[in-house]
Structure 1
Amino acid sequence: MEWVKALHILSIVAWMAGLLYLPRLFVYHADAEKGSVQSETFKVMERRLYRGITTPAMVASWVFGLWLAFGFGLIDFSQGWMWLKAAMVLALSGVHGYYGSLRRAFAEDRNSKPGSFFRAINEIPFVIAIVIVIAVVVRPF
């Protein structure tokens, strides 16, 4: 069980790193001229980060998390904190999917959002992570 916990935590760290870095790339990509060498470089970086690190890390987080929850019976679903965590993990997965759609828009040169938009959404995954950590560690309800 400790190995599964360790792998769950490591996959979450990788997932969060990707979700926090990808919007920063979008900030700089939004300012790059479409079709420029810089823009094409950002496309490669974004694709590799999203497909090569962030998405596999999300899948691993889900697999190891569900394994912990159901394989070892660690979770009592009668407690409110677990439902809050589950809702936040679903929200984080939704943010992941939304970032994927933004990445595709950049890849197809159809982004219309300014860099300030991406600076703002960069904070969303961390706010969700704060709620998850407090729910799991403090278990306020």
Structure 2
Amino acid sequence: MPDLYFSLYPWIKALHIMAVIAWMAGLFYLPRLFVYHAERSAVGSELDQTFQIMEEKLLRLIMNPAMIVAWLAGLVLLSMGVFDWGAAWSWIKIVSVLAMTAAHGWMAKRRKEFAAGQNTRSGRTYRLFNEVPTVLMVVIVTAVIVRPF
């Protein structure tokens, strides 16, 4: 069984990378939708309803499943012993992935506020927040590929 388990490593890694790419696409796009939603639509308008559908489908059909698959595949990779628990890069990645998950949760809460017609944040807030996933991605990729620490 261990031979089969480890022969699946490249497949699990590929699945992990594909899921992360899909998750990141959503994390980059959803705040942009929020910017336009906050700046261009009145509560209850047809445009408001359109943005709500787009945001809900992006989160429910793409981002949530991608995050779950990324986490599951990542945990399987962890169980295979690919992490160096004594190296700083491993801990930087874990903390950054937890921050990415928290950012995902923050966006999910904002989507619910838009759906309830209770958004109080400006487009500027969402523009600034749009940089969070980018910074976290740079940190994660640098930590894993370059391993500067």
Radius of gyration: which is bigger?
2
CA RMSD of superposed structures (Å): 0.6
Q: Deviations over 1:74-113 (max 9, x none)?
A: 1121111100100000000000000000000001000011
Q: Distance in 1 between matches of 2:84 and 2:34?
A: 39
Q: Give 1:39 deviation, angstroms.
A: 0.2
Identity among equivalent pairs (%): 48
Match of 2:22 among 2, 9, 14: 14
- Write the letter of the residue equivalent to 2:95: A
Q: How does 1:92-111 map to 2 (within 5 A)?
A: 92-111=100-119
- List aligned pairs for 1:3-42, cutoff 5 A: 3-31=11-39, 32-42=41-51
Matching residue's letter, 1:89: V
Unpaired stretches in structure 1, ≥5 consecutive residues: none
Give the TM-score normalised by structure 2.
0.92
Q: How many correspondences in the alignment?
A: 140
2:131 equivalent in structure 1: 123
Give the TM-score taking structure 1 as reference length: 0.97
Per-residue deviation, 1:23: 0.4
